[in-house]
Structure 1
Amino acid sequence: MLDEILDGLMRRYKQRVPDVSAIINAMLKEGIIDNQAEIENDHIAFRTMGVEHLGVQSLEKIFLHYGYQKRDYYHFQEKKLDAWWYAPPQDRYPRIFASELRVKDLSVKTRNIIHKYTDAIKADPVSVLDLDDVKVVDNYLHSGLWQTPTVEDYKSLLAESEYAAWVIFNHYYLNHFTISVHNLPEGYNTMEQFDEFLEKNQFKLNTAGGKIKISPDGKLLQSSTVAKVMEATFADDKKAEIAGSYVEFAERKVLDEFKDLPKDQICRKHRRDGFEAGNADKIFESTYRSQTGS
């Protein structure tokens, strides 16, 4: 059942993010992989609004039901975000990183715009779902939770919080998936090597904090593409360009206590786990105008 839910997320994500298929096709052409199934998905990410009945406390119920375990908390003061990550029930599944906007910390004007849309939701929508019905869960994860915003409201949110603007239009659609670089063949299995491959194939990388974001312990390295700008249809059929989703890449190095293990014996538990606030802070900017140029 979890496989079906994750497959549904990835199928629609690929339809909305052209870079996903483009990167996979480039990897196939280069001979890095023989088929898509060889790619390990390190983690997937969701963005949410921290308002009553919604936010992470609502969304997480789905994944906790399917065996995920809530782990570390992260706070992003400047971006006014909170986040948590979730460990999967089995190593073959991706980790989950879920963030939410601290709506109460925003200006009155911005809070009012957000509540104009989210106040229509009078109860936690996940609480009434049959979480054992895969089709119901799959449909929920791809349904708009509130009305499509006006261009004016979108642009007003954009002025204060680019995260808020992204969520108000995209709802809780999958924000990104992540290729585990360390499990690729020699020559492509470091962040530096894989970034070189991506740039050779004309993929634009997020440069916020440097192309490679490195945790203080040096064990978690992350990069990401810049979200493509797409034309979106707002309320009253008005159109404007917005940032879509993107693709992330992660290299998790082997922990020091396992450094002498033969390569063929190394698995997920031997590598750096979890996330790093400093890295994530810059990865968020993959949808920001400073990166997209929009």
Structure 2
Amino acid sequence: MGTSASKLAILDIVLNGLMRRYKERVPDVGIILDAMVSDGIVKSTSDIENDHIAFRTMGVPQLGVKSFEKIFLHFGYEKRDHYFFEGKKLDAWWYSPPRATDPRIFVSELRVGDLSEESQHIIHSYTNEVTVDGIATDPVDYLDLDNGEAVDAFLHQPLWRTPTTADYQSLLQESEYAAWVIYNRYYLNHFTISVHNLPEGYNTVASFNDFLEKHGIKLNTSGGKIKVSPDGGLLQSSTVAEMLDAEFANGEKLRISGSYVEFAERKVLPEFASLPAGEIKRKHRRDGFEAGNADKIFESTYTTQTGR
């Protein structure tokens, strides 16, 4: 059963809203997209395929993935594989889109209960504010999912009060992911340029990385600049997150990591190796994600990378 045209039109409003605000917040996006046009790689930025977008959530009763996913399941996305990141105390799932032109979605969730009592206390002091009439309630249940502007606004509104620098820095010591979410909330964590459909000379992560570095873009080096899945079918790289002058509670300011850009190369699956290049579609390429790659990509917002 397909997703109705009206739901897809609403999904377009949501996806466009996410990308508009993300571009405003991550200057690297504009630099990369403009360079792709001026270097003649694409005629216009609308020719660039968005492989996937990613969100980060807090694993607490009324929030987390089970709340967040309701939005995109409503628009015809389907929940796929689960990934567990033991060291980072995260769970994640990916969702396949209703149309081959839509980005996949990757949503991760902090296992709050696995953190120290101090960090749990800090996180709950914020997430406990997400209530209706004083009762902890999933805010998505009160959202009109058929109103694209309302969904877009929800994804960019603060769910809890602005954190203090002390709470942010305390969380940063134990979980850089926790610190990122307590400040950035549902802001788009990254979008991903599919490089395999680009012209020769730019259609591998290796060659695209060369193009990026020529334009002064700093890449995440955790696990090497190119992260490769064990089957060799998925290659990924990413920029280092933009540093933001962030305003915290009481007017205090800190420079913190915001969002970043990712690049993905999906190889043609062995059973379709004989297909002519012009006939290769998304369904013929390696799908899904790879925990080992994603583990290192998460570090694009970590001080080990942003501090280089």
TM-score category by the smaller chain? over 0.9
User: 1:18-29 maps to which residues of 2 (within 5 A)?
Assistant: 18-29=27-38
CA distance in 1: counterparts of 2:206 and 2:144, whole angstroms? 44
CA distance in 2: counterparts of 1:159 and 1:83, whole angstroms? 22
Tell me the residue number matched to 1:212. 226
Q: What CA deviation, in whole Å up to 9, does each residue of 1:162-209 have, x standing for no partner?
A: 000000000111000000000101110011100010011110000000
Query: Normalized against structure 1, the TM-score is what?
Result: 0.99
Task: Find out whether 1:38 has 2:47 as its counterpart.
Answer: yes
User: 1:224-235 maps to which residues of 2 (within 5 A)?
Assistant: 224-235=238-249
User: 1:269-288 maps to which residues of 2 (within 5 A)?
Assistant: 269-288=283-302
Tell me the residue number matched to 2:3. none
Q: Which amino acid aligns with 1:56?
A: V
Task: Find out whether 1:177 has 2:191 as its counterpart.
Answer: yes
CA distance in 1: counterparts of 2:213 and 2:78, whole angstroms? 36
Say how many residue pairs are matched: 294
Tell me the residue number matched to 2:7. none
Q: Which amino acid aligns with 1:181?
A: V
Tell me the residue number matched to 1:75. 84
- Percent identity over the alignment? 68
Tell me the residue number matched to 1:49. 58
Tell me the residue number matched to 1:261. 275
SS at match of 2:221: coil
Task: Report the alpha carbon displacement of residue 105 of structure 1 after superposing the two structures with TM.
Answer: 0.1
Q: What CA deviation, in whole Å up to 9, does each residue of 1:29-68 have, x standing for no partner?
A: 1110110100000000000000010001101000000000
Task: Find out whether 1:64 has 2:73 as its counterpart.
Answer: yes
Structure 1 residue corresponding to 2:100, chosen from 88, 91, 95: 91
Task: Find out whether 1:290 has 2:304 as its counterpart.
Answer: yes
CA distance in 1: counterparts of 2:167 and 2:146, whole angstroms? 37
SS at match of 1:93: coil
Structure 1 residue corresponding to 2:113, chosen from 104, 107, 117: 104
Q: Which amino acid aligns with 1:73?
A: H
**What's the C-alpha RMSD, in Å, of the aligned pairs?**
0.6
Task: Report the alpha carbon displacement of residue 134 of structure 1 after superposing the two structures with TM.
Answer: 1.1
Task: Find out whether 1:164 has 2:178 as its counterpart.
Answer: yes
Gaps of 5+ in 2: 1-9, 131-135
Task: Report the alpha carbon displacement of residue 138 of structure 1 after superposing the two structures with TM.
Answer: 1.1
Gaps of 5+ in 1: none
Tell me the residue number matched to 1:202. 216
CA distance in 2: counterparts of 1:2 and 1:102, whole angstroms? 29
Q: Which amino acid aligns with 1:232?
A: A
Tell me the residue number matched to 1:152. 166
Task: Report the alpha carbon displacement of residue 133 of structure 1 after superposing the two structures with TM.
Answer: 1.1
Task: Report the alpha carbon displacement of residue 229 of structure 1 after superposing the two structures with TM.
Answer: 1.3
Q: After the TM superposition, list the runs of 4 or more consecutive aligned residues in structure 1 that deviate by more than 4 angstroms.
A: none
CA distance in 1: counterparts of 2:242 and 2:166, whole angstroms? 21
